[in-house]
Every structure is written in structure tokens, then in C-alpha cells.
Amino acid sequence: MLFIHPTADVSEKAKISDITKIWHHAQVRENAEIGNNCNIGKGVYIDFGVKIGNNCKIQNYVSVYHGVTIEDDVFIGPSATFTNDLYPRAFIWNEEKVSKTLIKKGASIGANSTIISGITIGKFAMIGAGSVVTKDVPDYTLVYGNPARIKGFVCECGRIIDKFEEDKDKFKENKDNFIKGICNFCKKEIFINKQDFEKWKK
């Protein structure tokens, strides 16, 4: 069942699916879309036209600005911010200045992180707390720092991968080789682009 706290400001033109909860003093603008079973924390700002998938958890005081798309199963920690203008000026704004940002399925973004617009954060990637992310983040990649850099790789369960082996047979038709990572916790296998792996090893 949909729950909207009495202090939340949710536009009648926003599209909110069932079983989602929107907490104290959150604001959801017109034409925003929020999927099923989401939890929108206290003081969250969701700008007009933002799209959020199913099963997402957006913690207190996150700001999600116009131009951001968030896929299913994404976690966003407290006070994280998404920008949308690479050349901000108070006296100049138009739709053409908006840089699109995509957060793919299962990604996690740590508290107080800033996501600079115009990038893609890959599936099940993990952004460490307090990071400033200025470039695309590949699938299953752990990044942190200012600017955020590749620090390792993570499983879908969130644990750090520390066992790797090269896998040339998995993607025979692909020109790039892939590295197979094996999670010690859940034993799941993930596949990492070899170029991304070599960036980390450097």
C-alpha cells in the first residue's frame, strides 16, 4: 500500500507505484516516476521528470535532480547529491544544458557522495561514502575518493571480490577478454572487462 507522510510534498502529477513509502518533508516534483516497493527517506528531493525503478532505497536528504534515471534495486545513502548541469550559472538555464545521468540496476552509492552529471554508474557498482564521481563507473566496480577511482570489484551481494581468473571462453564473440571474479561469501561468479581490471591493477 502506498504511504505518503502528511508533511511530504508530492505533486499530483507525479506517478508513484504501490507499496512505496515517502517519509517526512520529502518533495516529489511533477512528472517524476517512482516504482514499486521504494523507500524515500526524510527530506529527499526528487526533481521533475526523474525516473526511479522498483525496490530502490533513497536515504534521508538525498537530492536527485532533473535528468537522472535510477534503475531497479538501487541504494542511495544519506545526503548524496546528483548534479545535472556541467556549466552552472544562476542566470542561465535551459533544457539543453541538462546532462543525463544513469544509475544502473543494483548499484549502491555511499553517504555524502556527489555524482557529477553526464555519467553512467554500472550494474551492482559501489560508490564509497564521500566520493566525487566524475566519470563512468563500470559494472561491479568499487570506486571511492575525490575524484573517485577504481579500488576493486564487488559481488552482487556487496562483498569485495578477491579471487580472479581469466575467462576467454565466456565471451568468444567479443573482442575484449574478460576476467572472472568469484565471491568468497556467496560463491557467485561475475565477469569484469579486462581493461577495467588492468586499470585497477596499475
Q: What integer pLDDT is reported at residue 165 of this predicted model? A: 84
Between 81 and 89, where is the model more confident?
Answer: 81
Same domain, 122 and 179: no
User: Are the C-beta atoms of residues 73 and 56 closer than 8 Å to each other?
Assistant: yes
- Residue 195 is placed in which grid cell? 581493461
Q: What is the mean pLDDT of the chain?
A: 93
Per-residue pLDDT for 78 more than 90? yes
Same domain, 116 and 50: yes
Chain centroid to CA 15 = 20
Q: What integer pLDDT is reported at residue 198 of this predicted model? A: 87
Q: What integer pLDDT is reported at residue 176 of this predicted model? A: 62
Per-residue pLDDT for 94 more than 70? yes
Same domain, 140 and 173: no
Same domain, 146 and 172: no
User: Are the C-beta atoms of residues 153 and 189 closer than 8 Å to each other?
Assistant: no
Q: Report the CATH number that the domain containing residue 25 is assigned in CATH.
A: 2.160.10.10
Same domain, 168 and 198: yes
Q: What is the mean pLDDT of residues 67-83?
A: 98
Full domain range(s) for residue 165: 156-202
Per-residue pLDDT for 168 more than 90? no
